[in-house]
């Protein structure tokens, strides 16, 4: 059985105190209301991580992650944060390849392959994002785009390393737009991704890979999306900033 995960991506939102407040509410609600074996993850700005890890201590249903890491081990990279630093404060996950990083910070599949290696080296689990733009979907290029993101970004890993990844299918046209992929559209791509993993590694590896859906997921549409056979949870942007909404999405697995 593969792990079910609902991960929140706070992006560049919530100051320090606001973040601690929302996280405390999330932990309390998860303790009281979540009955299944699903894991919740909050990927916060770097400044929150240490405190969130302390708040989540001793409670294995909620983990903390970062939203980026530099590909180098250390060095003269002013303003950057390394995977080793992230590991040293107790985070468990790092989002890599989010479409906003690809679009605004020019992150390529080649760079993301290096970041993936560094993050794995420090025993952190990448949540590796892939997905097509609207233009690519309209040109019927979405399967090719997703395949290249897999091949160039993560298929250099051996099966053991690959087993530590979480994948997130995030159609760029659905992120922050209020337009969600239909469950049929999402399932079609998730099934395609799993088949590609089986062809590259094995059916066993494919069956144990957690693949999240991201893009305007909310408490109303989560249950239908998560009921699809190849959708193992969500990567949640806007709705993860509101504790009630985020926990209601997590509870779609109860
Ligand atoms: C995201 O940024 O990963 C995301 C899915 O955002 P939203 O849920 O706001 O569409």
Nearest atom of ligand 1 to the alpha carbon of 95: 3
Q: What's the pLDDT score for residue 191?
A: 98
Cβ–Cβ < 8 Å for 58, 110:
no
Residue 122 annotated in active site: no
| Tokens read off for 129 | 């994002």
CA 171 to centroid of ligand 1, rounded, Å: 10
Name the burial class of residue 199, with classes exposed (0-12), middle (13-18) and buried (19+) by CB atoms within 10 angstroms of its CB. exposed
Please name the residues in contact with 237: beta carbons below 8 A apart, sequence gap of 6 or more. Answer: 8, 9, 11, 175, 176, 214
The β-bridge relationship of strands 125-130 and 93-96 is parallel
Using CA atoms, how far apart are residues 121 and 124, in angstroms rounded to an integer? 8
pLDDT score recorded for residue 179: 87
Given 48, 98, 142, 190, which residue is catalytic?
98
pLDDT of residue 242: 98
How much is the pLDDT for 55?
98
pLDDT in tens, the chain (254 residues): 799 999 999 999 999 999 999 999 999 999 999 999 999 999 999 999 999 999 999 888 999 999 999 999 999 999 999 999 999 999 999 999 999 999 999 999 999 999 999 999 999 999 999 999 999 999 999 999 999 999 999 999 999 999 999 999 999 999 988 888 899 999 999 999 999 999 999 999 999 999 999 999 999 999 999 999 999 999 999 999 999 999 999 999 98
Cα–Cα dist 190/130, whole Å: 11
What local confidence, expressed as pLDDT, does residue 117 receive?
98
Tell me the longest C-alpha to C-alpha distance in the chain: 49
Instruction: State residue 60's pLDDT score.
Output: 87
Active-site residue 98, yes or no? yes
138 token code pair: 């309209």
User: What is residue 97's predicted lDDT score, i.e. its pLDDT?
Assistant: 97
Question: Rounded to the nearest 5°, which phi and psi values hold at 125?
Answer: -95, 120
The predicted model scores a pTM of 0.97
């Amino acid at each position: 059985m593969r792990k079910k995960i609902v991960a929140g991506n706070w992006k560049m939102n919530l100051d320090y105190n606001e973040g601690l407040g929302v996280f405390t509410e999330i932990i309390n609600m998860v303790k009281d209301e979540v009955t299944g074996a699903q894991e919740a993850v909050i990927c916060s700005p770097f400044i929150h991580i240490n405190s969130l890890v302390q708040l989540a201590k001793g409670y294995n249903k909620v983990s903390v992650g970062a939203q980026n890491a530099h590909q180098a081990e250390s060095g003269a990279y002013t303003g950057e944060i390394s995977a080793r630093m992230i590991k040293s404060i107790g985070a468990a996950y790092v989002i890599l390849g989010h479409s906003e990083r690809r679009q605004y910070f020019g992150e390529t599949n080649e760079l993301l392959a290096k970041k993936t290696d560094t993050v794995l080296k420090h025993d952190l689990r990448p949540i590796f994002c892939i997905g097509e733009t609207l233009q690519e979907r309209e040109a019927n290029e979405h399967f090719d785009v997703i395949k290249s993101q897999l091949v160039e970004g993560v298929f250099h890993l051996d099966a053991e390393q690959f087993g530590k990844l979480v994948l997130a299918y995030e159609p760029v046209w659905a992120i922050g737009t209020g337009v969600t992929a239909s469950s049929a559209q999402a399932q079609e791509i998730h099934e395609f991704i799993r088949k590609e993993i089986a062809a590259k590694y094995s059916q066993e590896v494919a069956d144990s890979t957690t693949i999240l859906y991201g893009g305007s997921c909310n408490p109303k549409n989560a249950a239908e999306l998560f009921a699809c056979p190849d959708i193992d949870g969500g990567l949640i942007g806007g709705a993860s900033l509101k504790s009630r909404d985020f926990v209601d999405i997590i509870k779609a697995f109860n």
